[in-house]
Amino acid sequence: MDVDIGTIGSPTHSVVDIHTHMYPPAYVQLLESRNSIPLIRKFAGAKEPRLIILPAEAESLDKMTGSPETSHLPGRPVTTHYSSLKQKLHFMDTHKIDISVISLANPWLDFVAPEDAGETAKSINQEFSNMCAEAPGRLFFFATLPLTAPPETLLAAVGHVRSLKSCRGVILGTSGLGRGLDDPALVPVLRALAANRLTVFLHPHYGLPSEVWGPRATEEYGHVLPLALGFPMETTIAVARMYLAGVFDQVPDLRMLLAHSGGTLPFLAGRIESCVVHDGHLVREGKVGAGRRTVWQVLREQVYLDAVVYSEVGLKAAVDASGADRLMFGTDHPFFPPLGGDEQGEWESVTWNAEAVRKALGDGTDGARAVMGGNAVEVLRLREDS
């Protein structure tokens, strides 16, 4: 391969992938039982079932009649990369990844009925825990919370995941309890997570309202706009709303890991700061006085960023904003599979992110070593048993 990922940090230090997803078998069954997105659907003639999570994909599903050409099926194939632990370990070996912190992929359990959410979360998290036990020391996980469940069920779930040996945090979408992450009702949950030293991996799913992509997007631009722009913009908006609501003040020990290098937060932090201090309403409310926590402080002291940004330019900005001690390598596996189609081989998407670390921080430097694994080992306690 072009890049020997194992040596970018150091041959004697672990490479850790903190952004790597799975849909374990129980979750696949759950999605197969559904009639609206998210769902998994089998098609005659297609080798693998298809995962359909975007509204635009659901639209093309509704329009389908007869037996469509298999090259024009909506969504993406649910390969064994999504559900097979053996496949995950093979992928890790191929790319010299020592440790993976696996998480359920979006949309998690956001769609589950309140009365089912608690039990569903428990079984999914137990399944993740069991998978990790099959490769001790190599696999850890971010659990999934039953966000639609009643408050007591939700808080009990925090206790449950904390008791699972390989759990190091939770993956969280931007809807929270349904009203976003700036919802005051979510603060007790975030406090419970912080008190249990569970890192919150903030991950997008909902994107932006499809009207912003314009009339040509669905037919002509594939999934590029919602994935390339909608996802990182959603993350940025969610964190900015938390910031303006004072969540980072209210839960100062919250540890939050932001997907895709913070969406666009490193690039926009300066503009956010300028808009805050110039805002007539915030000034009148006394919210921009001395001692105010700035967006830069949140970036440098409270959040961590993954290194899934696919460019040296982006990675440098993330490092400039948060420091090399707050960035963590990730792959986003099993999304963005190899361009040539050989899913057992090397994944370019992985290589590009590793190359960005090498170019931005240098080969074998302390910074590269920290980003490729050192930070994750320390922050997520990957040398500790539980």
- Provide the minimum distance between the beta carbon of 361 and its own copies in the complex, in angstroms, as a whole number: 14
Residues recorded for the chain: 386
Nearer to its own copies by Cβ, of 113 and 228: the residue is 228
279, 305 contact by CB (below 8 A): no
Minimal distance, residue 188 CB to its own copies, in Å = 18
CB of 250 to its own copies, least distance (A): 14
Distance, CA of 158 to CA of 55 (rounded, Å):
31
Distance CA 193, CA 176 (A): 14
In the bound state with its own copies, the residue whose beta carbon lies nearer, of 166 and 264, is: 264
Choice between 94 and 210, CB closer to its own copies: 210
Least distance between its own copies and beta carbon 138 (Å)? 26
Q: Return the number of the residue (114 or 214) whose C-beta is nearest its own copies.
A: 214
b/e string for 68-95 if b means 16 or more Cβ within 10 A? beeeebbbbbbbebbbbbebbbebbeeb
Residue among 93 and 320 whose Cβ is closer to its own copies:
320
In the complex with its own copies, the residue whose CB is nearer, 109 or 247, is 247
| Minimal distance, residue 301 CB to its own copies, in Å | 16
What is the smallest separation between the CB atom of 382 and its own copies, expressed in angstroms?
Answer: 27
Euclidean distance between CA atoms 266 and 92, whole angstroms: 29
